Amino acid sequence: MKTAIRFVVAGLACAGWVFGASSSSPQHITFDVNDVSYLWPVATTQAEVDALISGDDKLADGVSRVWPQGVFDAVMKAAPSVGVESSAGIMNRIDFGPPAEALANPHTWKLVAFRVDPCAPGCNPKLTAAFGAVPQIRLVLQPVTVDGNTVQVHDLTAHLAFGFIGGMDSERFVPDKDAFREVVNDLKSLKAESEAAGATTSGPLRVHPGLEKRVPAFTDKVKAFITRRVSEPRLMAVAFVGLAPRPEPWIFYAMGRQPDGSFARARHPTLEGEGGQMLTLRGGTPVMPAPSTTNLVSGKGVSTSVLFPDASGTSRLDTPVFADGARPLHRDIPNIIANPALAHFRNTDCVSCHSESTRRSILKIPAGDATFRFTPPAGISGVDQGHLPQHAWNVRNFGWFRQSATATQRTANEAAESADVINREYLGAPKPPL
């Protein structure tokens, strides 16, 4: 899900053109979803784990870390204090359990994915008119340990949002387009490097083709990009999902940078001031607290909470969500949540954004008509169907679940929107006709 800052998001790069092998005329570079969203293949050996970027890896300045130690400590200290009361009145808190010692080491946390977004919390003109735009690099880190020959991907995630802000215009964020243009230029270089290695980046969102080949020269350049372009002053927010205790429920919470530079728990707009939200599949009310969403034009809103549990969710799919209107139907809810022009951080809850694809899969909800469904811009790809989460316990949006690399429909839609805006505003692609 896109995170507004307040919640607390060599070679051919400079030329901007790449020449085809059999043509004397230049071909304009445009991005597809895999050029703005990088997903690593799941590590299966100690060597592959060691090759990943770690939370304690140094940045280009040689001093700062990918996940700054002070912020890491603040997040880990806050986690056990995050509690959500179940429908039975039981307080559930994040509990790191037996791997707590390993989880307390930032080296255990590995970068499994990252995304580049030109306009958080959303690129739709109505959103940018209301909130402005914050270009972001968003890192996804998960703890990975190795016991003998067994690699374990733990079911926790930290999402670090680094923002490129030029200032404020009233209550709207002004993007630092010059700084973000350097990010785009680096992505152009990475695209060229990947394709030079025989890994075209075009096509649906999936494990990044260049990373899938595990070519050391390319992965080194990806690491150089991360360590050069993120910095501690740009880290504006951290979203976190942990377990209470195991194997579930999942608890979502976030922390934002304060005026004095410290990080503190953030209150989510859809949760009536609560700082965390819980998903449980083992009895009781699945989603607590119930969200108050506003992701429809009418000011009303939907959430996936009404699609749990599976049995009742199936029986109501063809019924309207609201008594005073024929649409949306309950089967429209995943499309609404996955549509970044409708749903975003300020109007939609955590659980919804992390469960729209699994609800769609488990309840066998088809794509549906275009009333609420996001349609990728011309020339931009969707998502590889093999990467969509199928298991109810997979709450990853973009990352690893056990031994599977995951990308949800919402993630692909956001990536498509991001690629389209970068193509038009930073790479000079023509704007679509009105």
Residue 338, domain member (yes or no): yes
Assess if residue 10 is contained within a domain.
no
What's residue 370's pLDDT? 95
- The pLDDT score that the predictor gives to residue 433 is 56
Residue reference for tokens 């968003």: 138
- Who's near 354: CB < 8 A, 6+ residues apart? 1, 241, 252, 279, 395, 396, 397, 408
SS3 243: strand
- Residues paired with 84 in a beta bridge: 92
User: Is 249 among the domain residues?
Assistant: yes
Q: Is residue 41 part of a domain?
A: yes
- Give the helix/strand (H/E) hosting 195: helix 177-196
Phi, psi of 281 (to 5 degrees): -115, 10
The answer to whether residue 1 is domain-embedded is no
How much is the average pLDDT of 37-52? 97
Cβ(156)–Cβ(85) below 8 Å: no
**173-187 pLDDT tens trace:** 999 999 999 999 999
Question: Which is it for strands 235-243 and 250-257: parallel, antiparallel or unpaired?
Answer: antiparallel
Question: Is the Cβ–Cβ distance between 411 and 398 less than 8 Å?
Answer: yes
Which residue matches tokens 């992965």?
219
Q: What are phi and psi of 355, to 5 degrees?
A: -135, 0
Count of domains observed in the chain: 1
pLDDT score for 274? 74
Q: Phi then psi for 315, rounded to 5 degrees?
A: -70, -20
- pTM of the entire predicted model: 0.92
Dihedrals phi, psi of 145, to nearest 5 degrees:
-125, 160
- HEC per residue, 87-98: CCCCEEECCCCC
Task: Please check whether residue 6 lies inside any domain of the structure.
Answer: no
Residue 431 lies in a domain: no
Residue 241 lies in a domain: yes
Domain that holds residue 239: 17-425
With cut-offs at 50, 70 and 90, classify the pLDDT of residue 352.
very high
Helix (H) or strand (E) holding 145: strand 134-147
- 41: preceding bond cis by omega (within 30 degrees): no
pLDDT in tens, 253-300: 999 999 999 999 998 889 977 779 999 998 899 999 999 999 998 889
Q: Give the residue among 108, 8, 111, 11 at the shortest CA–CA distance from 59.
A: 111
